[in-house]
Amino acid sequence: MKNKIIISNPNDMHVHFRDNEMLKLVVPETDKIYENCIVMPNTVPPITNREMAKDYKLRINKYIKNNLNPLMTLYLNENTDENDMIRAFKDKIIFAVKLYPQGATTNSDKGVKNLKNIFPLLRKMEINKIPLLIHGEDTDEKIDIFDREKSFIDKYLTKIVNKFPKLKVTLEHITTSEAVQYVKETTNLGASITPHHLASNRNDMLVSGIRPHLYCLPILKRRKHQEELIKVATSGNEKFFLGTDSAPHEIKHKENICGCAGVFNTINSIEIITQIFDEANSLSQLENFVSKNSASFYKIPFSKKKLELIRIDKPISFQDELIEGDLKIKIYKPNFEVNWKVSRRF
């Protein structure tokens, strides 16, 4: 039995930092653990152009003490200026572009309503090698919330990958066995997986009471889908990598008659994942999932810095909340014990 594991510093390929006071609270938590992170642009207002991305990065940088490298994204919409987008990418201000179908999730009301309208932009992205990150859910109100990911793949993602075969696409925070299968068989398509979709399923959210802090989008699915995610994450398959989708909302907006979607999971994210990999007898694949696969997929350098985790006898006691002034955020915890702890970074 392994009691210690050393991996190269992990990457979080999908994180929400929000803006203003929230930055102070959440950026340092990512900075404590991660090397690179892809920062989501669904702030209020959304990050829709080069100038906004540049300023947002400066605001984030104020709270970075270690080596965190925030990789910025642009919020795609039907009015995105293609020259501004290309310039932002060439100047290395943005790393990728994010597609939110309109209405799919938090602050997505300015997202894309008609996919066809952005085809010319996708063509430019393909030519200029700008990665496309997709929130893959069909927002048609007739589609059941548990079927939205599958429906998006069938109706839209297939069109995108067939029309733009050279475009590098990431299907973000995948939740279903159908997504796993589709990503496996499709060229130039990768996928991020969150800690909470690996660790929890819809029963955790809905049995014996409703738990608003587990409500996220795409919504937690059945156990059989969770098992498929664990299987592929622990398999070492290079197309699948960690993106926490850590999405802080104030507690009052989660414990609400109409609560927001999002799970703040940065704290203990690596420990939780290590526990899952340990239980799957796959500790040898941990580094691939959290550090190497994303670096290979996005062609960014592997970190030379290391993170050491040790097995502990007494399970970790999860911190409950993150608090700063009036801001209070609930910290995600799974319904199992975690016997791993980050011991050092070097």
239 binding ligand DOR? (CB under 6 A): no
Q: Which of 112, 29, 4 is nearest to 324 (CA)?
A: 29
Q: In whole angstroms, what is the distance from residue 262 CA to residue 135 CA?
A: 14
Q: Which of 234, 344, 341 is nearest to 278 (CA)?
A: 234
Active-site residue, from 31, 138, 245, 278? 245
247 binding ligand DOR? (CB under 6 A): yes
E strands of the chain, at which residues? 4-8, 11-15, 36-39, 69-75, 96-99, 132-134, 169-171, 189-193, 240-242, 306-311, 321-324, 327-330, 340-345
- The total of other beta-carbon atoms located within 10 Å of residue 128's CB is 12
Tokens of 20: 């203003």
Candidates 261, 300, 310, 316; binder of ligand DOR (CB under 6 A) is 261
**Interface with Zn ion by CB under 5 A: which residues?**
245
Write down the least CB distance from residue 108 to ligand DOR, Å: 8
Stretch 128-147: interaction string toward ligand DOR, x if CB under 6 A: -------x------------
Write down the least CB distance from residue 6 to Zn ion, Å: 29
216 binding ligand DOR? (CB under 6 A): yes
> What is the Cα Rg of the chain in Å?
19
Residue 286 or residue 327: which is nearer to ligand DOR going by CB? 327
Residue 228 or residue 245: which is nearer to ligand DOR going by CB? 245
245 flagged as catalytic: yes
Residue 18 or residue 239: which is nearer to ligand DOR going by CB? 18
Write down the least CB distance from residue 273 to Zn ion, Å: 17
300 binding ligand DOR? (CB under 6 A): no
Residue 264 or residue 340: which is nearer to Zn ion going by CB? 264
Phi/psi at 4 (nearest 5 deg)? -150, 145
Candidates 30, 42, 293, 294; binder of ligand DOR (CB under 6 A) is 42
Candidates 10, 16, 30, 43; binder of ligand DOR (CB under 6 A) is 16
Q: In whole angstroms, what is the distance from residue 241 CA to residue 262 CA?
A: 19
Q: Which of 342, 346, 340 is nearest to 1 (CA)?
A: 340
Q: In whole angstroms, what is the distance from residue 212 CA to residue 195 CA?
A: 17
Q: In whole angstroms, what is the distance from residue 289 CA to residue 211 CA?
A: 28
Write down the least CB distance from residue 173 to Zn ion, Å: 6
Type of residue at 202? R
41 binding ligand DOR? (CB under 6 A): no
User: Residue 310 binds which one of ligand DOR, Zn ion, none, with CB within 5 to 8 A depending on kind?
Assistant: none
Residue 247 or residue 327: which is nearer to Zn ion going by CB? 247
Residue 75 or residue 89: which is nearer to ligand DOR going by CB? 75
The interface with ligand DOR within residues 72-111 (CB under 6 A) comprises 105-106
Q: In whole angstroms, what is the distance from residue 6 CA to residue 91 CA?
A: 35
- Which residues would be at the binding site for ligand DOR (CB under 6 A)? 16, 42, 105-106, 135, 216-217, 245, 247, 261-262
Residues labelled catalytic: 245
